Structure 1
């Protein structure tokens, strides 16, 4: 096992004062397709294969490593022609060389399989959560309608037939009510179970990870006759996220907006990159939130909870948990609303390093290649 592990982990030693690699192990050849003797000459071509979105990120960390500060594991992608990107976790530490100068010792772990597996898992979870929300919205509405029809028919029954039919209508009404409760309980259990797991933070492109869930929400709500749209940034915006938890927050905010928006109304999501943060806004032109309720919407078991327009119930935990998850990401969740005109929920989270753009080529050259 040790031999297999050694063959897939590249280890190198970089002399900071001399500005060159003074040692690289034999794994460099099969893993990075280079020659140990030619490693320094091959560095420019190798680093040119770093994914464009990771170049500024790597350059920022490399500059810190060269200054002897902030050592910590980072993950970067290496592009391969006609293949998926190769992911590496770089784990650096300092060592004093024989001449007394500082050496940077770094191990590169190929984590491609784990990263691709995680991406597939996150996509599956988001699709599952979207499906549950859309189906619960549709099924709850149908059961609530059946319950209301049963109530109406019971009230309108003539006395002569009431004894024979009233019991069946009561059963229909109770079954519908319990079905709605079961559906919402299932969603709440799923959400709280997801919140209870440990955070797993990754540096990701926010627009890229939101594209799948938002597209599925759009398709699902379109099939139900609702108006839902979204917009994503043209450029990559990198943030540090627990992808599963954060997408669940956005899904919950969209579901909440749908509850208080009439069938002819609109709900839309906007994802943008700002100079110092990323922003996700979930807006609607629904019934809005009364001014007296606004200060309480994020409270646990909030007094601001109310039935949705189609009779959807809430226990008042959703927005509180959403706020908690956002704060775990060092972000903020806020709301603005005008009664009768709609609401806007805004999520702001910090950008990751190298989040919005590449470093200029000459700066990357200066920081990385020398």
Structure 2
């Protein structure tokens, strides 16, 4: 049994979501509820006169995305909700989620319906959470190197001291040295186990894609390394040859994979060396490279580098442990994003890892409006 028209009309006027109907032939909005005035600060009876100004408020980074969605919407190929970033009248950001609908049997012609929701609060909260998560992951990698490195060195020193003290035949001294050696070893293993567990946990979670600016996310990671450069005794360089650069990715997983590549470079780059993170766009691909001036990868182990429990695993320059899982996990994450990863390395001259990821398919033929 259908609801009474008065009930539906009352519901549409009270809902916090904007509901509208757009006639394609006349290029006019034929219906819009009062939420338009609350959500977008417009006037319901002047919505068609305000359309041009509303379209002009679409963020420049989102304009091609909006035009692509509009084109697919009219062609009946857009079925999922999409997000848009608007600039408000006071200069702040506003995020909208738009659920499309196509009235194919409408009279006298094609009509589009849509439900618009303000998701600004949610997006801001997610941005802060993602920034915190990225900072947490990078901090763990830095601490892993910064804490485990000296402890591994102490472990090596204790081995030497134990051997040098053997002729003294001092049982108490031998016991103390052995205790120091075991304590250092267990502490190093504990640190690496914790970081490895965080990485593995993330990989086992279902892929959750969203449209994000890859350049912004990579810049956040590199800023943490650059802030820690004096303590890590390395130089960190970030190069972006294009900005912004939008992709549909699971940013937590992908950023952990890139962070793991940076951490790997950190392990095998001597003090005073340089690690460079670069991002660019080429022929429908986002190209991310992690280059270092480290010791390089021996030719004999390069072929199996991405295999699980690979024989290519080796301790870092400060004795950092390797499980042999890191590279295979990174490769899995990249391939889940329909991308590929490869590297070039020569002993004594450093290593360059390259990640290629497909860009958003936004072939814009029809302008907004």
- CA deviations over 1:203-238 (Å, ceiling 9, x no partner): 111111221111111112332222222112353111
1:190-229 map, 5 Å = 190-229=198-237
1:298 to partner: Cα distance:
0.8
> What residue is the counterpart of 1:367 in the other structure?
367
Q: Which contiguous aligned blocks of 4+ residues in structure 1 show a shift greater than 4 angstroms?
A: 2-6
**Contact 2:95/2:118 (8 A) holds in 1:** yes
In structure 2, C-alpha distance between the alignment counterparts of 1:9 and 1:187, rounded to whole Å: 43
Q: CA RMSD in A?
A: 2.0
TM-score, length of structure 2 as denominator length:
0.92
> What residue is the counterpart of 1:314 in the other structure?
322
1:273 to partner: Cα distance:
2.1
Q: Secondary structure at the match of 2:137?
A: helix
In structure 2, C-alpha distance between the alignment counterparts of 1:209 and 1:354, rounded to whole Å: 21
Residues 1:304 and 2:304 aligned together: no
- CA deviations over 1:70-107 (Å, ceiling 9, x no partner): 33321111101445311111111112455252221111
Q: Secondary structure at the match of 1:345?
A: strand
- CA deviations over 1:5-30 (Å, ceiling 9, x no partner): 95421111111222221111111111
Q: Which has the higher contact order (CA 8 A, sep 6+)?
A: 1
In structure 1, C-alpha distance between the alignment counterparts of 2:154 and 2:338, rounded to whole Å: 44
**Contact 1:238/1:354 (8 A) holds in 2:** no
Cα 1:158–1:331 shift into 2, 3 Å: closer
- CA deviations over 1:18-52 (Å, ceiling 9, x no partner): 22211111111111111222111110011100001
> What residue is the counterpart of 2:126 in the other structure?
118
| 1:347 maps to which of 330, 334, 355 | 355
1:127-138 map, 5 Å = 127-138=135-146
**Contact 1:281/1:344 (8 A) holds in 2:** yes
Q: Secondary structure at the match of 2:368?
A: helix
Aligned length: 360
Structure 2 unaligned regions, length at least 5: 1-9
Cα 1:353–1:79 shift into 2, 3 Å: farther
Structure 1 unaligned regions, length at least 5: none
In structure 2, C-alpha distance between the alignment counterparts of 1:335 and 1:234, rounded to whole Å: 22
> What residue is the counterpart of 1:77 in the other structure?
85
1:274 to partner: Cα distance:
2.2
1:106-185 map, 5 Å = 106-157=114-165, 159-185=167-193
In structure 1, C-alpha distance between the alignment counterparts of 2:12 and 2:250, rounded to whole Å: 31
Cα 1:117–1:209 shift into 2, 3 Å: same
Cα 1:54–1:98 shift into 2, 3 Å: closer
Cα 1:163–1:4 shift into 2, 3 Å: farther
Residues 1:25 and 2:33 aligned together: yes
TM-score, length of structure 1 as denominator length:
0.92
